[in-house]
Homo-oligomer: A and B are copies of this chain.
Amino acid sequence: MKKNFEEMSYDELLTEFKNIIKANGLKFTSQREAILRTLYDNPQHFTSENLYMLVKQRHPDLTIGIATVYRTLALLEENSLVSSISLGIQGKKFEIANKPHHDHLICKECGKIVEFGNEKIESLQHQIAKENGFELTDHLMQLYGVCSECKKET
């Protein structure tokens, strides 16, 4: 049974993380907390390197290595507290999994991003996966086009 972490506050996420740690006989460390905290406060998509640098910047007192970032992201991802997607050229990116699901409509001219959710598409995606014997866990959908303002200009 998969947990649903949508809309959770930081404290709730932290509690979940501690439970996961305890359940696996692991230990709660300041590095692990700093990573979760940084992911929570910056709900963008991170590369491992981005996250590593931001954690160091926000916690100058804490020593942390890139290896710990990789190890912690793997742990968080295994337990669905963060999700990762691979974005074309830009490599693998991570984000904390407490946001409601949405996809993106992106203007090729000005870069404007509109978030949208569409249940019909979601259900068709599940149907397609099912027809092919897949258990759907995730998807990436980005629509590219030209927004109304940029259309005017041309």
Contacts and interface: CB of A to CB of B under 8 A. Distances in A.
Interface string A93-119: 000000000000101100000101010
Interface in A126-140: 128-129, 132-140
Interface in A118-153: 118, 120-121, 124-125, 128-129, 132-148, 151
A89 interface: yes
Interface residues of A, number: 38
A88 B146 contact: no
Given A89-B86, A105-B134, A132-B114, A143 B147 contact: no
B151 A144 contact: no
Contact of A143 (B84, B86, B114, B139): B139
Interface of A: 84-89, 91-92, 105, 107-108, 114, 116, 118, 120-121, 124-125, 128-129, 132-148, 151
